[in-house]
Structure 1
Amino acid sequence: MIRGGRTTPRRVEENTLTTYRIAVIGGTGPQGKGLGYRFAKHGHEVILGSRAAEKAEPVAAEVTERLAGVSGAGTVTGLANADAVAAADVVLLAVPYDGHDELVATLPLAGKTVISCVNPLAFDKRGAHGRVVDGGEGSAAESAQRIAPEATVVGAFHNVSAVLLWGDEDYLDEDVLVVGDVVEAKQVAMELAASVTSRVGIDAGKLRLARQLEPFTAVLISINRKYKVHSGIRVSGLGHAATE
């Protein structure tokens, strides 16, 4: 992992955080299912979205079974994408970049806090690399904001391993970087990060920095391939300042 020391861990108590009703669009895929599981494990109500409710329902049942016996776990249900969004406070976009814009345009996102973890990646014989979005002056998160101007979009959870999300560790030993233009929306994603890492996320700047954050996942994929690991990001030097 890309790691460094921290003088004061940013651990948080779960009962100090707000609980949310979260629609995970792309909830039947590995990333969406894993994040949905982590959110529900720590008390949030999760609605897994898919093109059809019939596809989302068995995945929701699988996650629910995984949560059996977990004290304080939230519920997990499956709905069609638009219905999931309509029922939620927060929407997580965990879909492939191909078809992303067309899908976002169909969702009732007005007034919602939208968290994008979409990574525009491509693969060739040399490995993974970032795709160029809007001539290098855009990102998937910015595209979602442009398509849904009445929503508030932030970028987060791009670099978290789907394998580890579905794994047995209580928390992942890494940081979640959050980018966005609205502080309150970033705070939602930063709180949700605690369900994954037990630490609030890190405010990493404005939404335009998703242009760097999204394709950085290709670097982690390269590391994973070289060292046969599931790498993540750890930021050093923050100390107690990250909780302020």
Structure 2
Amino acid sequence: MSYRIAVIGGTGPQGKGLGYRFARHGHTVVLGSRAAEKAVPVAAEVTERLAGVDGAGEVTGASNVDACAGADVVLLAIPYDGHDELVATLPLDDTIVVSCVNPLAFDKQGPSGRVVDGGEGSAAESAQRIAAGSRVVGAFHHVSAVTLWGDADFLDEEDILVVGDDVEAKQVVMELARSVTGRDGVDAGKLRLARQLEPLTAVLISINKRYKTHSGVRISGL
């Protein structure tokens, strides 16, 4: 099934890379930015990258608010700083919202996960609290922007871990994971487990720095 996907923060590396992957496999994508004039040239760059790809979906640029209009799925690919304020401005009622936001901190010792709501919350849960009429799912936290923008048709050595409380919404996002890895995402449990998934990204960044690579997550035993 093909979806209309709004990527909020679609001009950043993660948002652009995910937008490219979704469009590459037939979905219609609107890259959002605070200003439409910033999103339009990035959409053109992605469209150019898709030249010659059979069945690719259309990619356009718009303001964040306009990108949400008519979207089946809204992906939040935004920094954690300013996250709550931005989410509050978006029309997200009755929409599946995917959060790949990673609240991270950096100091002399390297990356670490930031504590959200005293350890009893996450960016994904904050989005659900603010956009109470939406259905929030956490996913795509651990995919490198570099590999997303790479040449491989699928990142088939990785798994997409998906958490959420709405079964139907989670199933849609697990299906969307096929655009990235070539197979369904892994049902990793309830939305509150985003508290573990989001800071795990800091571990991958540390691995990447030490081994000069772009690591991901793969689940064995399935």
TM class by shorter-chain length? over 0.9
Q: Which residue of 2 aligns with 1:51?
A: 34
Residue 113 (structure 2) aligns with: 130
Q: Which digits, 9 at most, give the CA deviation of each residue in 1:175-229, with x for residues without a partner?
A: 0000000111111110110000001000000000000000000000011011111
Letter in 1 for 2:19: G
Whole-Å separation in 2 of the counterparts to 1:104 and 1:221: 26
State how far apart, in whole Å, the 2-side matches of 1:218 and 1:90 are. Answer: 26
State how far apart, in whole Å, the 2-side matches of 1:159 and 1:232 are: 6
SS in 2 for 1:215: helix
Deviations 1:91-149 (A, max 9, x none): 00000000000000000000000000000001001110000000000000000000000
CA distance in 1, matches of 2:205, 2:154: 21
Q: State the match for 1:67 in structure 2.
A: 50
Matches within 5 A, 1:1-244: 18-172=1-155, 173-238=157-222
> CA RMSD, aligned part only?
0.5
Stretches of structure 2 lacking an aligned partner (at least 5 in a row): none
Give the distance between the partners of 2:105 and 2:70, measured in 1 at CA: 33
Cα offset, 1:86, TM superposition: 1.3
Percent of pairs with identical residues = 80
Deviation at 1:87, TM superposition (A): 2.7
SS at match of 2:48: helix
SS of residue matched to 1:138: coil
TM-score if structure 2 supplies the norm length? 0.99
Secondary structure of 1:95 counterpart: coil
Please list every run of at least 4 consecutive aligned residues from structure 1 whose deviation after the TM superposition is greater than 2 angstroms. Answer: none
Specify the code of the residue in structure 2 equivalent to 1:88: A
Q: How many residues align?
A: 221
Q: Distance in 2 between matches of 1:185 and 1:215?
A: 23
Letter in 1 for 2:119: G
Letter in 2 for 1:117: C
Structure 1: gaps spanning 5 or more residues = 1-17, 239-244
